[in-house]
């Protein structure tokens, strides 16, 4: 399989010494590997993404940015109503490009949907009992990027193996701390939606990271979900907790999977997991894998776009954040 | 594994259900008198009967520890809502992991899962624990209890089921009694605008809506019924060990000479001693 020898120059989350070996991981890249090594190869190593997948990602980025800005206005001392108005203005400006409003072509993830979902969020949580935590340096715990070095992982090179992530916010609720993570979805917020978070890479990783970033470990992650409808939105929050033993088990599994990734890179071969093709509404690479190997590259070029997923880059569109990633070693 | 020493090794995990005033909480007194330790998570704020029943046996009172798990409520804008963040359910789940002062207990009593066969973890009551779960869910959403959405029902029911699953698991090596009121589910609409239910009318442990109560019994092999018979001065409270027609009472001691009705004054202790192999 073709692994560019200079992959690390295209994507700095890969090793300089072993082509195709990822040294900086996040929940997305781990999830891709766990689902199917071949999918991981296409997505992370080759950088292929289905055409049109940019819209959910773009909408999600806008959603996060608008709500983050709302938090900043409140932190500046604006009243709720003032902050709301300023946030709506910000959202309109954010989604106006090159002399025209953003048109996603999607009836759910649209400019109107963005305004509807964020305005209703501000309305519903006006008297929010969840308070943003203030870190030791006096800054609010929002948009926290982190990197954790896996010191106990026997790296084959001198490069540290990192677990990376980006927490939207850390809040206190009662006597407990939680990482709050915003999500948008078209799914109904039933048990079927919430069940995807246990087990879940991101929840486990954030719970682990919280033990290193905060004075007191977070009890888990609160998912603040927004169901997008064409003419409605629905907000719901639910805590997803992890015990210490669950987090330790997840970390042990993560080591196992990264060792697998190393083996695949050394052998320059990523096998298909052909039992995963039906999962998550069907793998986007199913048609590629179904085709003869000789034509796959041609199919990829016609049906997919290129996108580099680099866990070391905090988040697209976060140029305005002041937070540098928090680099931690375990036990620090 | 074999059953040779089953009764000497197994635990008693049971539901005790009954209408309000039927004697569920009072029935616990006999266990304390028989030497069992009781550790009670009190969601009902209704344990007054126990010191009254045990005032002549202070050594039995010494066997009881309890922690109140209630939310402070107040009236605001015509609604009764929790004052601040509801903490009742969080306190209970923390104590179920470690009954410690750090988790809000008045005493350090260790890990409930390891208390053993001489101790009962008591939930009084499942009904109000369910209400605490719903208040916690609603507070997170920033919405009042006036209208509860389907996902919110699901979230609160999920929280409750998680606790039941914990108590039911083999890892929880302590006896368990869960007290509950009765929910009648099924049959024709009860005139409360709820839709007709095709299931036959039956009584179940009351907790959060209509979907969860029929499932709760599956977590326990023993479900006994507290019932008041008669009225006024001749009223007697009994513990039923056989079904009464509407309530699916069940218990594993089918071949022992256990009466169909036990007196409330010593019934739970009689039953527990038999179930735990302390008497035959």
* Inter-chain touch A194–B154, beta carbons under 8 Å: yes
Q: What is chain A's alpha carbon radius of gyration, rounded to the nearest angstrom?
A: 20
Q: Which residue has the tokens 């978070």?
A: A197
If pLDDT is split at 50, 70 and 90, which confidence band does B33 have? very high
Residue B7 clears pLDDT 60, i.e. is over it: no
Residue B265 clears pLDDT 90, i.e. is over it: yes
Q: Residue A315 has what pLDDT?
A: 61
Residue A329, strand partner residues? A149
**How many whole angstroms separate alpha carbon A277 and alpha carbon B155?**
30
* Inter-chain touch B154–A128, beta carbons under 8 Å: no
Structure tokens, B231: 């009225």
Chain B residues with CB under 8 Å of a chain A CB are 84-85, 87, 90, 137, 139-143, 149-152, 154-155, 158
> pLDDT tens digits, residue range B138-164?
999 988 777 888 889 989 998 999 899
> Does A237 touch chain B if contact means CB atoms closer than 8 Å?
yes
Q: By CB neighbour count within 10 A (0-12 exposed, 13-18 middle, 19+ buried), where does A7 fall? A: buried
Per-residue pLDDT of chain A (332 residues; tens, 9 = 90+): 888 888 888 899 999 999 899 999 999 999 999 999 999 999 999 999 888 767 888 899 999 999 989 988 888 889 999 999 999 999 999 999 889 999 998 889 999 999 999 999 999 999 888 888 887 777 778 888 889 999 888 888 889 999 999 888 999 998 889 999 999 999 999 888 999 998 999 999 999 998 887 778 888 899 999 999 988 999 999 999 888 888 999 999 999 999 999 999 999 999 999 999 987 678 899 999 999 999 999 999 998 988 889 999 876 544 333 344 555 544 33
Q: By CB neighbour count within 10 A (0-12 exposed, 13-18 middle, 19+ buried), where does B168 fall? A: middle
Mean pLDDT computed over every residue of chain B = 88
H/E element holding B18? strand B13-18
- Considering only the C-alpha atoms of chain A, give the largest distance between any 2 of them, rounded to a whole number of Å: 62
* Inter-chain touch A191–B154, beta carbons under 8 Å: yes
* Inter-chain touch B87–A174, beta carbons under 8 Å: yes
Dihedral angle, C-alpha A122, A123, A124, A130, nearest 10 °: 40
**How many whole angstroms separate alpha carbon A271 and alpha carbon A138?**
48
Sign of CA dihedral A272, A275, A281, A287: positive
* Inter-chain touch B154–A222, beta carbons under 8 Å: no
By C-alpha distance, which of B172, B247, B253 is closest to B217?
A: B247
Query: Least CB-CB distance to A237: which of B84, B141, B154?
Result: B141
**How many whole angstroms separate alpha carbon B21 and alpha carbon B15?**
16
> pLDDT tens digits, residue range B181-239?
998 887 765 555 556 667 778 888 888 887 788 888 888 889 999 999 888 888 889 99
Question: DSSP readout, A115-157?
Answer: HHHHHHHHHHTTT--PEEPBPTTS-BSEEEEEEEE-TTS--SS
Residue A107: C-alpha distances to residues A67, A90, A114, A117, A300 (Å): 21, 21, 11, 13, 27
Chain B positions touching A188 (Cβ under 8 A) are 151
Of residues A307 and B40, the one with the higher pLDDT is B40
Residue A180, strand partner residues? A169, A222
Dihedral angle, C-alpha A188, A192, A197, A200, nearest 10 °: -130
Sign of CA dihedral A214, B142, B145, A241: negative
**How many whole angstroms separate alpha carbon B180 and alpha carbon B122?**
11
CB-CB neighbours of B178 under 10 Å: 27
With a CB cutoff of 8 Å and minimum separation 6, the contacts of B213 are B183, B185, B204, B205, B206, B207
Dihedral angle, C-alpha B122, B52, B43, B13, nearest 10 °: 10
Query: Least CB-CB distance to A127: which of B87, B140, B142?
Result: B142
> pLDDT tens digits, residue range A59-111?
999 999 999 899 888 888 899 999 999 999 999 999 998 899 999 988 899 99
DSSP, collapsed to helix, strand or coil, labels residue A17 as coil
Q: Residue A244 has what pLDDT?
A: 83
Question: How many A-B residue pairs are in contact by the CB < 8 A criterion?
Answer: 46
If pLDDT is split at 50, 70 and 90, which confidence band does B105 have? very high
Q: Choosing among A124, A219, A238, which should be mutated to test the B contact, i.e. which has the most B CBs within 10 A?
A: A238
On the question of a cis peptide bond just before residue A199, with omega within 30 degrees of 0, the verdict is yes
Structure tokens, B235: 């009223």
Structure tokens, B201: 């009318």
**What's this model's pTM, rounded to 2 decimal places?**
0.81
Query: Least CB-CB distance to B141: which of A126, A176, A236?
Result: A236
Q: Residue B5 has what pLDDT?
A: 58
H/E element holding B66? strand B64-68
* Inter-chain touch B158–A191, beta carbons under 8 Å: yes
**CB contact burial A22-48 (16+ within 10 A = b; e otherwise):** bbbbbbbbbbbbbbbbbbbbbbbbbbb
Residues 121-180 of A with CB under 8 A from B: 124-130, 173-176
Q: Residue B41 has what pLDDT?
A: 97
**How many whole angstroms separate alpha carbon B132 and alpha carbon B123?**
13
On the question of a cis peptide bond just before residue B125, with omega within 30 degrees of 0, the verdict is yes
Structure tokens, B149: 């959405």
- Cβ contact A227:A186 at 8 Å: yes
Strand ranges (E), chain A: 24-25, 48-50, 96-97, 100-101, 131-132, 142-149, 162-173, 176-185, 220-228, 233-241, 304-306, 326-329
Residue B137, strand partner residues? none
* Inter-chain touch B140–A175, beta carbons under 8 Å: no
By C-alpha distance, which of B178, B173, B253 is closest to B7?
A: B253
């Amino acid at each position: 399989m073709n692994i560019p020898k200079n992959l690390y120059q295209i994507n700095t989350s890969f090793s300089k010494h072993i082509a195709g070996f990822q040294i900086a991981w996040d929940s997305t890249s781990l999830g891709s590997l766990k689902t199917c090594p071949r999918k991981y190869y296409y997505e992370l190593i080759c950088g292929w993404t289905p055409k049109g997948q940019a819209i959910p990602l773009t909408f999600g980025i806008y959603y996060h940015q608008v709500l983050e800005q709302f938090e900043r206005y409140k932190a500046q001392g604006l009243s709720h109503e003032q902050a709301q108005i300023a946030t709506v203005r910000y959202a309109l400006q954010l989604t106006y490009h090159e002399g025209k409003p953003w048109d996603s072509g999607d009836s759910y993830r649209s400019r109107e949907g963005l305004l509807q979902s964020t305005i209703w969020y501000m309305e519903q949580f006006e008297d929010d009992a969840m308070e943003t935590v203030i870190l030791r340096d006096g800054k609010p715990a929002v948009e926290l990027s982190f990197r954790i070095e896996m010191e106990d992982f026997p790296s084959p090179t001198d490069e540290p193996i990192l677990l990376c992530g980006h927490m939207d916010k850390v809040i206190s609720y009662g006597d407990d701390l939680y990482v709050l993570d915003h999500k948008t979805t078209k799914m109904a917020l039933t048990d079927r939606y919430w069940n995807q978070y246990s087990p879940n890479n991101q929840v486990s990783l954030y719970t682990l990271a919280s033990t290193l970033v905060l004075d007191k470990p977070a009890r888990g992650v609160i998912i603040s979900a927004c169901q997008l409808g064409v003419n409605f939105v629905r907000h719901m929050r639910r805590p997803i907790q992890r015990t210490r033993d669950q987090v330790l088990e997840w970390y042990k599994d993560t080591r196992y999977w990264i060792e697998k990734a190393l083996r695949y890179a050394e052998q320059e071969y990523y096998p298909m997991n052909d039992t995963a093709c039906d999962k998550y509404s069907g793998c986007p690479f199913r048609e590629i894998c179904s085709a003869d190997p000789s034509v796959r590259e041609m199919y990829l070029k016609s049906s997919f776009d290129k996108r580099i997923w680099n866990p070391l880059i905090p988040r697209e569109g976060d140029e305005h954040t002041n937070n540098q990633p928090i680099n931690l070693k375990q036990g620090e | 594994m074999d059953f040779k020493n089953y009764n000497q090794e197994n635990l008693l995990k049971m539901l005790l259900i009954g209408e309000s005033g039927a004697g569920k909480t009072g029935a616990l007194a006999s266990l304390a008198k028989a030497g069992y330790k009781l550790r009670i998570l009190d969601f009902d704020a209704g344990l007054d009967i126990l010191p009254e029943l045990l005032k002549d046996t202070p050594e039995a009172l010494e066997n009881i520890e309890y922690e109140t798990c209630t939310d402070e409520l107040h009236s605001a804008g015509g609604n009764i809502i929790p004052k601040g963040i509801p903490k009742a359910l969080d306190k209970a789940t923390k104590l179920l992991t470690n009954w410690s002062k750090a988790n809000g207990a008045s005493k350090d009593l260790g890990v409930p899962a390891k208390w053993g066969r001489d101790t009962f973890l008591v939930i009084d009551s499942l009904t109000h624990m369910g209400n605490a779960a719903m208040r916690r869910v609603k507070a997170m959403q920033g919405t009042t209890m006036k209208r509860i959405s389907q996902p919110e029902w699901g979230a609160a029911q999920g929280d409750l089921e998680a606790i039941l699953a914990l108590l039911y698991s083999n890892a929880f090596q302590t006896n368990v009694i869960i007290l509950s009121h009765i929910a009648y589910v099924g049959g024709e609409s009860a005139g409360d605008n709820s839709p007709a239910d095709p299931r036959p009318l039956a009584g179940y442990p009351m907790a959060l809506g209509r979907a969860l109560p029929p499932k709760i019994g599956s977590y326990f092999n023993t479900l006994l019924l507290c019932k008041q018979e008669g009225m006024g001065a001749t009223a007697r409270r009994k513990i039923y060990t056989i079904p009464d027609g509407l309530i699916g009472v069940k218990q594993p001691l089918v071949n022992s000479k256990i009466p169909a009705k036990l007196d409330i004054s010593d019934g739970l202790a009689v039953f527990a001693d038999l179930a735990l192999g302390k008497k035959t």
